Amino acid sequence: MLDAAGASCSAPPCVSNYTMWAEETTRRVLNSRHHTYPWKRRGREAFVCPDVRHAGVPCAYVPQDDRLLLPRLMQELGYRGDSAELGVWIEDFSKLILKAWPSGRRHIGFDPYLAQPCVKHERDKHCITSQSDFDGIYSKTKSRLEGQFTAGRVSVLRNTSVEAAQLVRNGSLDFVYVDARHDYRSVKEDMGLWWSKVCRGGVLLGHDLIWPGVRRAVVEFVAKQKDDVHQVFITADHVSSWFFFRRPRECGAGEARAGLALVRLHRQLS
């Protein structure tokens, strides 16, 4: 297991009042201090959210932010554990995650860099890039990323999503970023494999809702997991990103202080 050195999830072990936690978390997302865009971007309000709401899950559009909102929130809210990224490619977003979330413990990128056949009607990177190009991209990406940050802060491993999931203990990650294959079956598989790796109070995040297969997989997944998802957030970048928190466990009588601590932290940051 990759987290054998110790517990790597920093989300609170429980919350004393789930409704209050959900309201505070939503407020923090919608009132983030740092925006990507100086104006509110229109045109995405009706994108995906109606389908999510029809599935019985609340959905909110964040009009001034893109996918960078999540690592910024992790920093603002005091998360300091491990994270995983499925689909590193040329490390552009990996670097942004690491810079926006300096308190994070370890970021692990998984990508097989493997040429594969295209899925019908899809033209994704894995099926339009040659294996020799993939080999070169992997070497350069691994060298650049692991050379720019403190030793142990980031690792790039050449594994498929299925292989990687076997290396990570359940409930050990503050967040997982899904941006590998974009066909429906693959996204559905990735979400199913990695949801259990996210700790209670952690986040599942993904990219490219503009792809029909991604939209379908996300809507179906949150419909199935709606007891554990209090809100889906859709960002304003042109391809639209999505994320949602995993419901934390509610505290027992002797654990109430841990749950209240997060609420107090939210209020201090507001």
| Exposure of 158 in the CB half-sphere (CA atoms within 13 A) | 12
> pLDDT digits over 157-215, tens only?
999 999 999 999 999 999 999 999 899 999 999 999 999 999 999 999 999 998 999 99
Backbone angles phi, psi at 220, to 5 degrees: -65, -40
- The whole-angstrom separation of Cα 57 and Cα 222 is 7
User: Would you kindly state where each structural domain of the chain is located, as residue ranges?
Assistant: 18-112+153-269
Q: pTM (2 decimals)?
A: 0.89
φ and ψ at residue 54, rounded to 5 degrees? -60, -30
Cα separation of 158 and 147, whole Å? 17
Q: For 18-112+153-269, CATH number?
A: 3.40.50.150
Secondary structure E strands in 187-238: 198-206, 232-235
Cα 34 to Cα 64: distance, rounded to the nearest angstrom:
9
Q: Which residue in the block uniquely carries the two structure tokens 């379908």? A: 216
Helix 131-148 to helix 92-100 angle (10° resolution) is 20
Rg of the chain on CA atoms, in Å? 18
Q: Rounded to an integer, what distance in angstroms lies between the CA atom of residue 179 and that of residue 25? A: 24
Residue 114: strand, helix, or coil: coil
* DSSP-derived 3-state class of residue 241: coil
Q: How many residues does the chain have?
A: 270
Quick: pLDDT tens for 119-162.
766 677 777 888 899 999 999 999 988 887 877 899 999 999 99
**Is residue 112 predicted with pLDDT exceeding 80?**
yes
